[in-house]
Amino acid sequence: MSDGGSGNRRQGGRVASVECGLLKVTGRDAVDLLHRLSTNDLRPLAEPGNAAATVFVTPHGKMLDWCFAMRTAAALWLETSPGRAARVQEWIGRYTILEDVRVEDLSAAYRHLVVRGPTAGATGIPEVPAGKAVAVGGGVWRRSLEVYGAGADGVVPVADAAAVLARAVASGATQASPAELEIERIDAGVPSPFAEFAGEINPLELRLGPVAVSFTKGCYVGQEVISRIDSYDKLARVLTGFAAPASSVPGVAADVLLGGQPVGKVTSAVKGGAGRVTGLAVVRRERAAAAEVELVWAGGRTPARLEERGFWKT
C-alpha cells in the first residue's frame, strides 16, 4: 500500500463503524440451501464457529452480492453489502420451496465494525482465526481479509457499537474516516458494491475466485457459467490497479487507453498519498500486466501505470 494509504496507520490500530447489510438465517435447512445457492462450499457452517465468504450469482453468472456467512449456536448470519440485504433475502426466498428456512433482515439494527491492527485486550474484540466466527455479546466477528493484515470485522448491535468504538479508542486505536477506508480498500484491490460490482460482472473478473468460489463443490445457481469460464480459460477481463499523478482524479468510467486503443474502464479512483492518485479498473485480461496507459474522461486525461494489488496476490 502507498504511504498515504492505510499501511502505516494500521500498525497502530484503527477502528471504524460503517453501514452493513445483515440477514439472520435459521431453520434446519439453512446451511444446505445457502450452499446450493452460492459459489463457496458452506457445508463446514453446519458446525457453529465457522465462517466463509461466498457470492450469490444469477443463472448467467452475474453477481448479486459478495457476502460473508458466519455460523453461531444461535443462527447462520449472512452479512451482505450495504443496501443489498433485501435483494439477497428475496433471492433466497425465490428458491425456498419446501425447505425449513427463515430469513430475517436485521440490517437496521446492526453496524459493521472494522478493526485493524491488534484486536485483543481492552477493546473486548477477540482474535479470530481465519475461517472462524466468534460470537461476543449480541455481535459476531470474523477475521479480516488477509490483505488488510491483522484485524477483525464484526456485525454488532447498534446499541453496543458506540461502546466498542470507545473501548478501542481508549486502548490506543484511532478512528478511521470513510475517506481513509476507501483509500485502504482501493490500495488493497478489494472490489466494492458501489463501484466494481455496481453493474453486471462475474466474480472471477473481480478476482474473487480464491476467496469465495469453490470449483469442486458441485451444483449451485450459476455454477455452469462460472465453471465454464474457469475450465475453458474464457475470462475476458479482470480487475487491476493503477497509479496516476495527483494533479487530477479520473472520472468513474474513464477509458483506459493502451497505445491509443481502449482496453478497459476505471471503476474507482481517489487521491492517495505520496503525490499520486490510486485507483482500480476493469481491463482486458491480456492487457492487465503492468504497463503505461492513458486515462481519458470528459473532464481531462492523465498518464497512469497499471499495477498489481495485494488482494489477488494473497
Name the 3-class secondary structure at 186.
helix
Confidence of residue 123 (pLDDT cuts 50, 70, 90): low
Q: Say what the pTM is.
A: 0.92
Can you read off the three cell numbers belonging to residue 25? 438465517
Q: Please name the helix (run of DSSP H) or strand (run of DSSP E) that holds residue 224, with its range, or none.
A: helix 223-231
Q: What is the pLDDT of residues 126-154, one digit of tens each?
A: 789 999 999 998 999 999 999 998 899 99
Q: How many helices (H) and strands (E) does the chain have?
A: 8, 17
Yes or no: is domain 236-313 CATH 3.20.20.450? no
Residue reference for cell 450459476:
222
CB 243 within 8 A of CB 268: no
What pLDDT score was predicted for residue 9? 37
Q: How far is CA 306 from CA 184, 243, 258, in A?
A: 17, 7, 10
Inter-residue contact 64 to 80 (CB < 8 Å): no
Domain covering 7-177: architecture: 2-Layer Sandwich (3.30)
Q: Domains of the chain: which residue ranges?
A: 7-177, 236-313
Instruction: Give dist(CA 100, CA 86) in Å, integer.
Output: 19
Which pLDDT value is given to residue 7? 38
- 160, HSE (Cβ side, Cα atoms, 13 Å): 16
State the Cα–Cα distance between residues 66 and 52, nearest whole angstrom. Answer: 11
Same fold, 7-177 and 236-313: no
The dihedral formed by the CA atoms of 213, 216, 219 and 220, expressed in degrees to the nearest 10: -10
* Contact (Cβ atoms closer than 8 angstroms) between residue 228 and residue 57: no
181-234 pLDDT per residue, tens = 999 999 999 999 999 999 999 999 999 999 999 999 999 999 999 999 999 999
The dihedrals phi and psi of 148, each to the nearest 5 degrees, come to: -85, -5
CB neighbour list of residue 6: distance below 8 Å, 6 or more residues apart: 14, 116, 148, 176, 180, 181, 183, 184, 187
pLDDT tens readout for residues 8-19: 333 458 899 999
CA 182 to chain centroid: 12
pLDDT at 208: 98
Rounded to the nearest 10 degrees, the angle between the axes of helix 30-37 and helix 85-94 is 100
Helical residues (DSSP H) of 73-222, grouped into ranges: 85-94, 158-170, 178-188, 209-212
Q: What pLDDT was estimated at residue 98?
A: 96
